[in-house]
Every structure is written in structure tokens, then in C-alpha cells.
Amino acid sequence: MDAYDSEQLMLTRRGPRGDVDVKRWLRSLPDEESLAFIMACLAFKGHYGQEMRAFDLANSCIRRPAHALAILRLGLVNPDAGSIKYWLAFAIAKLGGKKVLREVHALLESDPTTADKALYWLPRLLPESDSNAWKLLRAIHQEAKERGAIREPIMSSDAEGKVLFSPIYGSTPPADESH
């Protein structure tokens, strides 16, 4: 099979069959080489669609949990508030919610801003059926609040109590014990 250049791939538009040939090629490579190629694609700074394309390749071709963890850790280095959700969603699908939550918990001490961003998105990403992950999320969220890692919502109200600005950071997971 032909080899691909990660930068050239990210810059090239693909037809309706997408990256089927690239995925086939990646799956034929040893795991370490496949990971290196996908990491290069994820590190490519381009448009939104290119990052999603790299995650599509990762979802299809990353087989080892250690590699999925390496990708998550890459995504947790100075993430922006919006795209961190894609890194978290990928990792939850590959590793499970509890492993991802343990990584986020480890960030409370070293990088509380990233932990805050992750805690904002995690309630929307964790499967409702994973009650153990939800319990762990509530505990981490509480600890983050106590440490001051979660910024208060930026909002104000008018005289009638209508919200004038929505929160950017600091989502609170539901207290519902059904999760």
C-alpha cells in the first residue's frame, strides 16, 4: 500500500468514500507507526474539519489503550475550551469514563484551568449508564470546587431575573443519583 504524508493528507480534500484507503493503510502498519502518524495528524493546526478528520482516523485505527491514553494526554496540554470535548469524547470511547476522570483528577494540582475545561464538558460526554463514572465525576467536581479550580459562571441578571450572559466555565454535574 502507498504511504501517506500526514500534513499532505490533512490539506487534501477527499471524495465521498473519505479516508477508507488511509484507514486500511494505517491498520496495516505496526501500532507504534500508526500512532505516530495519527499524532502528527492531530498536531496539525488547520481548520476544525481537519481535527475531526484526525479523530476519525484515531477512532478507527487506535487499538491499544496506552496509545489512546497518549492521545488524551496530548489533548490535555493547553487545550482550548471548545476542542477539548473532542479529545475527551475520543478517550471516553476508547478508555472508559473512569480512566479519563482519573486523568482529569490528576490535573487538579498541576493544571487546574485544564481540569476546569474538562469538568465543563464531562457531564455531557459520560454515558448515563456508567453510574460509577458519575459518582467519581461528582467527587472530582466537589474537590475541584473546594480547591478553587472551577471558575464561577460569568453571568448577570436584569431586574426581572433574566440571565444576560451564559456561563463559560464551571458546569455542575447533576446531583441526580440515577446516574
pLDDT, one tens digit per residue, over 13-60 is 776 677 888 899 999 999 999 999 999 988 887 666 678 888 999 999
Does any domain span residue 105?
yes
- 72-126 pLDDT per residue, tens: 999 999 888 888 999 999 999 999 999 999 999 999 999 999 999 999 999 999 9
Say which residue, 13 or 141, is predicted with more confidence.
141
> What pLDDT, on a 0 to 100 scale, did the predictor assign at position 18?
73
Give the count of domains, the chain.
2
Do residues 58 and 71 share a domain?
Answer: no
d(CA 130, CA 137): 11
Highest average pLDDT, of 112-121, 144-153, 157-166, comes from 112-121
Q: Is the pLDDT of residue 136 over 70?
A: yes
- Per-residue pLDDT at 169 exceeds 90: no
Give the length of the chain.
179
Short-list 16, 24, 49, 17, CA closest to 4: 24
Output the CA–CA distances (angstroms, integers) from residue 138 to 119, 125, 134, in the order listed.
10, 14, 6
Grid cell locating 88: 475527551
Q: Domain check: are 56 and 71 in the same one?
A: no
Q: 172 lies in which domain range?
A: 65-150+168-179
pLDDT band at 168 (very low <50, low <70, confident <90, very high): very low
Ranking 5-9, 49-53, 169-173 by mean pLDDT, the lowest is: 169-173
Q: Does 95 lie in the same domain as 55?
A: no
Flag whether 158 is in a domain: no
Integer Cα distance of 34 and 131 in angstroms: 33
In a domain, 80, yes or no: yes
Q: Which of 41, 63, 85 is the last residue of a domain?
A: 63
Give mean pLDDT, residues 140-152: 88
Domain boundary among 63, 84, 103: 63
pLDDT at 167: 47
Question: Which of the two residues, 22 and 173, has the higher pLDDT score?
Answer: 22
- Using 50, 70 and 90 to split pLDDT, how confident is the model at 161? confident
Top-confidence residue, 111 or 171: 111
In the chain, the amino acid numbered 27 is R
**Are 21 and 108 part of one and the same domain?**
no
Residue 1 confidence class, pLDDT cut points 50, 70, 90: very low
